Amino acid sequence: MNDAAHDLHAPHFIGIGGAGMSGLAKILAVRGAQVSGSDSKESETVLALRALGAQVHVGHAAENVPESASSIVVSSAIREDNPELAAARERGIPVVHRSDALAALMGGRRALAVAGTHGKTTTTSMLAVSLAELGLDPSYAIGGDLDAPGSNAHHGTGAIFVAEADESDRSFHKYAPEVAIVLNVELDHHANYASIEEIYESFETFVARITPGGTLVVSADHAGARELTARVAGREGLNIVTVGAAEDATVRVLSVAARGMTSEVTVLLGGAELTFTVSVPGRHYAHNAVAALAAGVALDIPAADLAKALGSYTGVRRRLQLKGEAAGVQVIDSYAHHPTEMSADLEAIREGLEGSGRVLVVFQPHLFSRTQQLAEEMGQALALADACVVLDIYPAREDPIPGVTSELIVDAARRAGADVTAGLTFDAAPAGLAGLARPGDLVLTMGAGDVTNLGPEILKHLANVATNA
């Protein structure tokens, strides 16, 4: 791709409705750019962009690219045979990767980049919300909506720009943050990384991009993160702040106490104890909040002020988002699609569940390559639920792999002792879940694909069951 020219005064986004792309399009539109784009379908995100003045087409066609386009913005999900990309190349329009566009937007700001195999969106969101609560009006670009469609990005008047830094395609190598968070380091994105060693090397490159005198905030508990810390320790001009429950952590988590669907967290920071509330459940999210706290302190924000402001974060869409309640059953949506995320969310839900209610999960695997590599671990994670339904694999950008189906996960889950219902189609799942659930239970729709659409349907079926009882 030609990333030498980043003329973004009239950008055309291919796949403008995507989580990362739509945020950049929004910021550019607010900054006065003449934004256009295309997406495969209508969505609330597309409508929100049109409301900002963006011209958005549904479907991909060469004629969608305006004569006035100064550049074409693409993500790694856009294939070379896309007709709009082909037309742009034929016309000599510069093609800019999403990460280059984001790097350009961060220019001149105090950049804070959040990286890690899991927890990026949550931690970036926590920072965006808490900094805004303090009146700092940060700019931000997040891989998920905070509340309403289009709330995944903001052009702020303040000095700070908070961005989610994606390692999946190595695009986070483009950023030069003043402060970087690395939450964890694990092998994922198997189509792009052949080994954990390649993952470490990629994160080392990211850390090397931190500006001289800048700060790396990194987990003291996660084995992969500790290995990364050991590899980058001693680099000149790099401050390292470790966070976690480990005794040697710079910012040490002393306790995480469950309070229903919230947590009370106590940390030791700078020799003093600090206690604050995190308004989402689970140890996993509490540790994300502590990383956000440490990063804010590295940007000279008073710890006590930021800790209080972190309590104003109440979650992000698809990250343990309550969709509703019917017939005494809560339905919650989770974006978790990697075994570590799945386990963390199931443990968080279990901690917050009151009484004798059960946790029921409908899980949609995401990507054939991920399922091929991690089916056993996904099955083990699902065993943390009381019962689960496993749907067909959501392919996203991938073509099928022979022999790789959701049955691999079903078999692994059963070996781990899970109560699994297999063979339910996507359309039949809502009625199936409603039939399984009883008052006091919690239903979790889980996965990175369109399984999120099942929550409202499950609630409708639960309401019908209650009405006919």
Catalytic positions are: 120-121, 164
- The closest of 1, 2, 32, 43 to 21, measured between CA atoms, is 43
Closest to 127 in 3D by CA, of 368, 15, 319, 291 = 291
**Tokens standing for residue 206:** 């990211």
Q: Which amino acid is at 212?
A: P
Q: Where are the alpha helices (DSSP H) in 271-406?
A: 283-298, 303-310, 339-352, 368-382
3-class secondary-structure state, position 58: strand
Per-residue burial over 331-367, b = 16 or more CB atoms within 10 Å of its CB, e = otherwise: bbbbbbbbbbbbbbbbbbbbbbbeeebbbbbbbbbbb
Task: Report the relative pairing of strands 387-390 and 359-363 from DSSP bridges.
Answer: parallel
> How many CB atoms lie under 10 A from the CB of residue 397?
11
CA 54 and chain centroid, separation: 25
Strand partners, 446: 334, 363
Cα(121)–Cα(318) distance, rounded to whole angstroms?
10
